[in-house]
Structure formats: C-alpha cells, structure tokens
Structure 1
Amino acid sequence: MSRAGNGRRVCALGVAGVLAGTVLTGCGEDGDTGGDGARGTSSAGGATQEQGTQAVRSAYDRTAEEDTAKVKLRVRTSAQGASESADGQGVVDLDDGDSVMTLTVRGQRIEQRVIDQVLYQKMPKGQAPDGKPWIKIDLGKVARKQGAGDNSMSDPARSAAYAKAITDKDVTKKGTATIGGVRTTHYRVSVDVAELPDGETLRKQVGPALPMDVWLDDEGRMRRQQLDMTLKTPTSAERSAADASSAPQRVTVRTVMDFTGFGTAMEADEPPAGQVTDMTGKALEQGKGQS
C-alpha cells in the first residue's frame, strides 16, 4: 500500500475512533474564535472553580440526553514529518456512538458509518479491495487486541465517568467564545490517566495526563471539544529490525468536534453483506505492537 494510502486510512480511522466514543478525553487549544476575550480569574475563589467542575461533569449527561446531534469535525494526523487532514460532517447517536458521516480526505469523499462499534467505509472508486465498495473494521475487536480492554475509550457511558472522576483542581475556566453563533464557556480539564479504565495501558500510549478543552452552552451541553493526543509507538528495541526503520516514534492527532442540531433524526444501516470486505484482520496485523 502506498504511503498516501496509509495516511488516508490513518486519518479516516482517527475520525472513526473519535465518533465511536462521541465525547472522549484529549488535549489542546484551537483558539476561542469569536470569543469576547473574557478570562477565568483566581479571584473567583473555590466556589467558582467548584461550579466549573460540576458544569464539566454534568455536560456529558446533558449532551447525551439530547439523543443525537449533528457533528462537524476536523482531524489532523501527523507522523514522521508528514501530515494528513480530514474533515467530516454528519449525525451521531450520543448514547451509543453510532454515526453516519461524510468525510473528505485529500479531496476525496468517503461515506462512513459506525454501527455497534463496527466501522464501515465506502471507499473512493478504484480504491476498495476485492471489487466491493465497502470495507469494515470491528473497532471493539481491534481495541481489545491492542490492550484497551473492552474498548473503554470508545464507550460513551465510560467517557462520562471520566468527567465525573475529575476534581476541582483539574478544571480551569478559560473564558467565553461564540461557537456556531452560540455563546459558550470554555473550560480546560486535566484527567489523570491512571484513574481511567485500563489506565496503565493508556498511560503507556498517551502519557500520565490528558488535558481536554470543552466549550459548553448556557444549557450545559457540549458545543465543542478539542483533543490533541500524542500516541507513543514502541521503541525500536521492541520492534523487529525490519520494522524499526519505518515505524514512527509517535503519532499526533488533533481533533476538533462541533455539536449542533441536537435531536436530528438519524438512521444507520449496515451495507449489504455482499458489498463489504472485512478488513479487521488487516487492521490487527498493521496495528500489532503499536499504540
């Protein structure tokens, strides 16, 4: 497979991984576009900080209560000095993580569905294997094989538990911003990876802490979430000599998700079995020994 093809797939799978969990944990800053420049201050004292913690904790539940939402996202994946970008939009089920999306990667459109933790992608013409238009990858099986237990990073119910596990010292109010015409409050959160399900495994992959930026509307719902993850690959000593020369030391993924259109109707149907090639085995093979 060409390097470009690999990059395109990494980008697309990055989108799928995010949507399988809907609201996850991450880090980074994308700027408060349209914000009023207000900043959180320490003079507000412990009471204000506690209010911020409660707002972030409850945001997951309040957002999920809307059942579905339109999602617009931007993903940038970088490794070995090269990068790939993908944009997507569609509708996601905020309860179970199912989604229907259209992605644009390198100017090419990819239709994507995530159903019961299984990713389906309709590849551009001429790129699908075996002459079938769709591929599928069992995300849950891949996550378990890579040591992520029962795919906790892709479980929206557990992602809510992550937020509830934070303490007052982990939340900082950064100010306000206008997201899609809606006034929001921006919070930065730091989550201790060791306290997460499969924390020891995740710690090896992403480090000891996961900073997370969220923007909440006046009803306490998530309007934007940004993730900036650096995934560590094994050291050269842990790889075969053949792999060591080509495998990147780390992969960075920046993902920005905007949520609008709460309650939008969504139907996610599996493609006809005869039009699908199962690529789970290939994904497991490519991911062997990597984060």
Structure 2
Amino acid sequence: MPKDSIRDNLEGNELDLSLSNLTVVPVKEMLQLRKATHIDMSCNLLSVIPDDFVKMEWIVKLDLSKNNITRLPEDIGNLQKLQHLDLFKNKLQALPVSMCHLKSLKWLDVKDNPLDETMKKVSGDCLDDLQCKTCAKRVVVFMKDVQSEQERKRQKRLQEQRELDEKKKIEDEKLRQQKKLEKAAEKERKRKIFLEEQERKRQEELEAATDQYHDANETKMNGHLQKSSSGKTGGISCCGILFGLLFGLIAIFASAYVYCEVKNTMPACVEGRVKVMQYIELVQIKTLDLVQQIKDKMK
C-alpha cells in the first residue's frame, strides 16, 4: 500500500486499515505516523505481525481481529501504552510470555483461536466486555507466573552450567597439574640420566688416568731397575778389575819380596821391602774405599 494511501486512512489519532486486503503489515510507513495511537487492521489477510511492529510504542488500541495471524512479536510487551488488544478469530496457538509486561492492558479478546487448553482456561470465554477485561488481567498475571517459572528454569540451567563449568575447570586443573608433575618427573629422569652419564664418563676418565699413571710408574721403575742392574754389573766388573790388579800387584811385590829375602844383603832389597809394604797398604786402603763407593751407588 502506498504511503499516501496509508496517510489518507489516518483520521485524528485513528488509523483505519481494515478491509484493505493487507497480507503484510506496512510497518515502515506506519512508523511515520506517530499520531496514530488507535490502529485498526481487522478483516485482512495478515498471517504474521513482524517483530519491528513493537517499535510503535505509542499504540493504545490495536484491532487485529479476523485475520490469519499465527504468531505475535515475542517482544509485544514493549507496547507499554497498549490498553486494548483485539485478537478475535485468528489462528494463534500461543501468546507471547512478554505480555506480562503489558502493564496498561485493560481489555483483551482471544476468542476463536486454537489456543492450548491451559490458555483457554486462563483467558475464559470473552463473550462480553467484562469478560474481556477479566481476560486481560488474568492473562497478564498468568504470563508473569510463566515468566517466573521460565526464569527459575533458566537460573537452574545457568546454575547447572556453572557447576559443569566449575567441575570441568577442576578437572582441567587436575589434568594440568598431572601433566605438570609428569613433565617434572620426565625432566628429573633426564637429569638423572645426564648425571649418571657424566659420572660414568668421569669414572672412565679417572680409570684411564690411573692406568696411564700406573703404566708410567711401571715403565719408570723398569728403567730404574735396568739402570741399577747396569750399575751393579758395571760395579761388579770394576771390582773384578780392581781386585785383579790388586792381586797382580801383590803377586809382583810378593815375587820381589821373595827375591829380596834371598838377596837380603842388597841395599835395594832392604829399601824396596819397606816401600813394597807401604804400597800394599795404600792399595788395600784405596781398594776398600772404591768398593764402598760402588756399594753406595748400588743402593
């Protein structure tokens, strides 16, 4: 419907769109008509009232009777100024819970709608003006109870969800701590393996150094033994030579001595005998000194 046509149907504060073959509510055009506090859209072909319809918070009286409406806006409770609501002869099976917020609602007709049994009992027959007023009060109160029950269930679900979240948080923390302990244990295990490997290498190096030290000492001792053996052999050889010379000299002096005994009248023999004895004593002294030196070197 053109905007001008809608405005043409405005008379004072009443907007009459009844019997207009409407299939869609012209919300955009109606939002421009803030003077229209009484709206009549009865006897049309409407099946749904769009959600943005509740933006017209200035509505006081709304007639939606004799349509094919199956659903009202969930936030219809935003129409805080609404006092009169006619839903007669539609196809509504339920009413929005937000109707509990319609504080100004004084008149409601829901007759000839396929409402559930509970809502039929609450709303009553709506056969006259008094029953429609009673219907408005009872529906608002009932919807408050429904909202309270829904809120209670919502809070219960939230509590259950919080408990589940807390339980999951505790389990996650336990798992985190377990992983932390496992990580620490694995780190400790690797540290022990590292220390054991270091200790093994240190022992191997120590054993190798000890073996090398023993080998070096053994070689050194063998060298000293060989040197001592050579020294002893050399000392023995020197002693043999000296003793040989000593015995040779003694033999020579002995021969000269015997000769002088036979020729003792010769002056040379008398003088030579004395010198021979002196030489023998000197050789004996030197020989003993040499032998002692050799023994000292061999020690």
| TM score, norm. by length of structure 2 | 0.16
Higher relative contact order (CA 8 A, sep 6+): 1
When you count helix as a share of all residues, which structure comes out higher? 2
When you count strand as a share of all residues, which structure comes out higher? 1
Quick check: which has more Rg, 1 or 2? 2
